[in-house]
Structure 1
Amino acid sequence: MTTRTPLTHPRPAAAPARPPHPPRNRRGAATALGSAFLLAYLTLSLRRYDHFGSGVDLAIFGQAVKHLAAGQAPVVDLKAPGFLAFGDHFDPIIALAAPFYRIWPDTRVLLCIQALLVAVAVVIIADIATTALGRWRGLSAAAAFGTSVGVQNAVDFDFHEIAFAAPLLALALRAHLLGRWRQCAALTAGLLLVKEDSAFIMLGIAIALAIRGRRALAAGLAAWAVVGLAIVLAIVIPSLSYWHRYTYAPQAKGPWTFFTAGAHSLGTSLVTDGTASRTLVLLLAGAGVIGARSPLIWAVLIPFLARAANTNPAYWGPGFHYNLLIEVALFAALVDALRHRSRAEPVVWALIAWMTAAALACGPLATVISSHDDCSRCRAAHTALAVIPDGATVAADTYLLPHLVDHTTGYLLTPEFTDSTGHPLTPDWVVLDEQTSTYGDPSWVPALTRRLASIYEEVSARDGYVVLHRRVALLVISE
């Protein structure tokens, strides 16, 4: 039987590979670090929720998981009655959250799940790094990963299915670094169940496998990524979508204009506007840049360039949750590159330390350390929401919905008072925030209140939160 050993880059004799670090206390230290980050992530997420900073994305997943927990189709009512979540994005992995929602039917359970999943990814990165680099270097790399820009922003931005991919990808890359090629390919293949665009990071890992000389596995993984993506985008999502198409693809007249639009966006994001280029430099610097020497850098570049080719500028920057998996791949590439001693290593660690300090000082986790805001309007918001009875239908502002969807049927309040399909909303209750930042200038809120005056009666108004109840329903109650 042939013994599998980790494949290392060819290096001159003057740069020998580091000896593996003994496992004693290694996993205990990794678990302790992950536990510390779990506490920090929970504090960040739940504090944001309590301060009404969580928005519509948390409400969307809350509604989908709520229905799944009840054994129903994952309907997202706030988009439209009967709107299926899997017709928007293909993310069946969220069904794993349903049993936990049954235990605690509250949208905050999703924030706890996300914090745990990302903390587990920290533990896996710490295990990889301490094995290859030694205890203190490894823990330093894992701590830099846990505080990196992409990770902090992902934890701070509601809940997203991509959190399930973080530990899965970390395990796949751990197998890659240990030379367990089939395990790496199998774990990577599972990413397609997380979200359709995971196919791009799968292609990046396939390229890394090919560079390592595992061409058959690479070809199989690449084929699965391409064919799986095609099936999901051309068949699965259109069959479940309200519009019978994948709505996030650029609307183009034929393949030529589709690729032209992508090429134009790529040029704009990387050169003309430059947002994507600055984001890539920021992410690379946070992981010490040296990871670019590893074949795993393709697991960073392919998905990043796919995002840069999107016509929506929101995909180009360092914000939101889009860089979480890229950070996982970057730090695995960092470990791969540092498995062999390098003269540049002091510079690498200095850059990582500087970027980590900057991320801590300027990132969302800084609010956990420094902020003592008691959120005076939060009490008024809770008072307004307490008026809404369980089981009611209610239209509410983006930042109020996550507090409603677990016990009501919630709809997203828009200036047009329509759902995402253009149909008029008909809820029994409406909760407005006259100081909302949703849709820019909040002047639309008083205008909408005047429009609804003939249909809804004002029940309460305090500190800018207005609760309206349908007059017809009030008449029925009074009779």
Structure 2
Amino acid sequence: MAEAVREGRDPAVARFPAEPAGRRDVRILAALVGVSALVYAVSSLLRLRDFRASTYDLVIFDQAVRSYSRFGSPVAMVKGVHNGFGPDFSVLGDHFSPILVLLAPLYRIHDGPRTLLIAQAALFAVAIVPIWRYAARRLGRPSAYLLAGVYALSWPIAEAVAFDFHEVAFVPLLSALLVERYDAGRRGQAALAAFALLLVKEDMGLLLAGFGLFLLTRAGERRAGLAYLACGTVAILAVSRVLITLFGGDSDYYWAYGSLGESMPDAVLYVLTHPWAVPDTLSSPPAKLLTMALLFLPLALLPLRSPLVLATVPPLAERMMADDRFGNWWEPRYHYSAFLVAILVMAAADGAYRLRGTRLPRIPRLRLPRRHLPATAALAATVAALPFFAFADLADPDLYRRDARDRAAATAVARVPDGVLVETSNNLGPALSARARVLLWDREPRHAPWVVADTGRRTFPFLSVEEQRRRVGALIDAGYRTVFDAAGYVVLTRETPGRG
């Protein structure tokens, strides 16, 4: 116990080993990581093959990382043109994610969106290791494996895998390392993980501030808690107000709290003088409550037993306090909940440990020690939620075969020559991004020599299929000629026959 105190670990959880007990644990963890990475990668790659990926956001990241791989700034032409920043726009002016440069060497092996999807799968899967180590110290190895499975099958990871690639790929691993290394008494290593988190996105300071709030609940850790709280707050202000502007962005572009005030000081003042606005905003519309419930129910509410859950409060409030214009932040879909999932699973481990001494029911015919029941319940709830989220698609036969529209889409993109500038419908950009300069086909004429349009199904950012058909008609009236038209996909060009 004295050794645990000297190293900064919680002596109450020092009786389980901090390291895998032997080669058997290493082999099991390696298998779990490998299988998880394979499932995530296959799911992503099948979606890419079947044209279920999107220009917004996969092509944005593909163009940015490709620019890094060529020793340039992370320019995403598709983002800059569509959002009015210009074709030379650096994504560091959109979201501050310099950590993406770590993926650039992979583009020397394979240049294209597939590289990002496989890297994301690996990063998500490797987070299993620090989650297991943290849980093993509290609950022993069997429960740690159960909770590793909870993370691997969790709906936030499923939804992130289903929605292209995002910078969130780094967050489960880094946030898990932050918590696990600090818990192990390795403060320097935890600080490195915290610093790396600040390179993932401009709002990751909220996660550090939340971790500081957690440390404030622990005796002897309040100075460290204040340091994390201060560093996280300063980082948010410095990155969002200064660095993003330096890279050509608008510091107010993602201001999502107009109902509370026109700026952060205004919003803080409003909340302090109108405290009832917080629960009102958090509960309206009801979709916010649904998402928050879904974050905790599959974990059997165990995170609510742990003060570690405080680390998730600031980033969760950032999402749930947003106005209607950013309604996608509230949804269970997309990738936003993956920012929190690793810490929530670790909080579940801590919450389960804090149930020690509580008389848990014995389940008939289940030969399992009572101390493993909380983790078992969390895994059972996570598995029960699988049919309602993206991993359920892996059981859909349509994911493994192409229909007539998929085949038409493949033919359409094949008609576009290499190296040209092309406007594409949202779902076709990823198929061309590795070999052409892709712009999003939207409401504004971009005068690209090639256009691949979709008139069979509504596609972002259009409001209706009829609007898309009118855009195609306007292109033809402007002198474009049709070189392919099938199953709703239309390829048009302004180039003269024989060129390209």
Q: Same fold (TM over 0.5)?
A: yes
Does structure 1 residue 403 correspond to structure 2 residue 431? yes
- Residue 309 of structure 1, aligned match among 307, 310, 321: 321
Compared CA separation, residues 235 and 256, structure 1 to 2 (3 A): closer
- Residue 446 of structure 2, aligned match among 425, 445, 453: 425
Q: CA RMSD in A?
A: 2.5
Counterpart in 2 of 1:469?
493
Cα deviation for residue 167 of structure 1 reads 0.9
Does structure 1 residue 375 correspond to structure 2 residue 391? no
Give the Cα separation in 2 of the matches to 1:284 and 1:179.
28
Compared CA separation, residues 306 and 321, structure 1 to 2 (3 A): same
Letter in 2 for 1:94: L
Letter in 1 for 2:177: L
Counterpart in 2 of 1:136?
142
Compared CA separation, residues 268 and 406, structure 1 to 2 (3 A): farther
| Aligned residue pair count | 462
Counterpart in 1 of 2:244?
237
Counterpart in 1 of 2:364?
none
Compared CA separation, residues 129 and 26, structure 1 to 2 (3 A): farther
Compared CA separation, residues 367 and 221, structure 1 to 2 (3 A): same
Secondary structure in 1 matching 2:482: strand
Counterpart in 2 of 1:457?
481
Counterpart in 2 of 1:360?
386
Moved more, 173-182 or 405-414: 173-182
Counterpart in 2 of 1:323?
337
- Residue 7 of structure 1, aligned match among 6, 10, 25: 10
Unmatched 5+ stretches in structure 1: 10-15, 419-423
Letter in 2 for 1:334: A
Unmatched 5+ stretches in structure 2: 82-86, 361-370
Give the Cα separation in 1 of the matches to 2:163 and 2:72.
27
- Residue 283 of structure 2, aligned match among 264, 268, 271: 271
Taking structure 2 as the reference length, the TM-score comes to 0.86
Does structure 1 residue 387 correspond to structure 2 residue 415? yes
Give the Cα separation in 2 of the matches to 1:397 and 1:54.
11
Give the Cα separation in 2 of the matches to 1:228 and 1:126.
30
Give the Cα separation in 2 of the matches to 1:294 and 1:267.
22
- Residue 413 of structure 1, aligned match among 430, 441, 446: 441
Give the Cα separation in 2 of the matches to 1:171 and 1:336.
15
Does structure 1 residue 112 correspond to structure 2 residue 118? yes
**Is 2:209–2:229's contact at 8 Å kept on the other side of the alignment?**
yes
Moved more, 208-217 or 328-337: 208-217
Give the Cα separation in 2 of the matches to 1:315 and 1:265.
19
- Residue 441 of structure 1, aligned match among 453, 456, 464: 464
Counterpart in 1 of 2:365?
none
Give the Cα separation in 2 of the matches to 1:255 and 1:301.
18
- Residue 179 of structure 2, aligned match among 173, 176, 190: 173
Moved more, 218-227 or 351-360: 351-360
Moved more, 351-360 or 116-125: 351-360
Give the Cα separation in 2 of the matches to 1:388 and 1:261.
53
Give the Cα separation in 2 of the matches to 1:475 and 1:260.
63
Give the Cα separation in 1 of the matches to 2:395 and 2:137.
31
Moved more, 187-196 or 17-26: 17-26
Secondary structure in 1 matching 2:209: helix
Letter in 1 for 2:407: R
Moved more, 254-263 or 48-57: 254-263
Give the Cα separation in 1 of the matches to 2:351 and 2:279.
30
Give the Cα separation in 2 of the matches to 1:51 and 1:260.
49
Give the Cα separation in 2 of the matches to 1:19 and 1:69.
44
Taking structure 1 as the reference length, the TM-score comes to 0.90
Compared CA separation, residues 233 and 5, structure 1 to 2 (3 A): closer
Counterpart in 2 of 1:223?
230
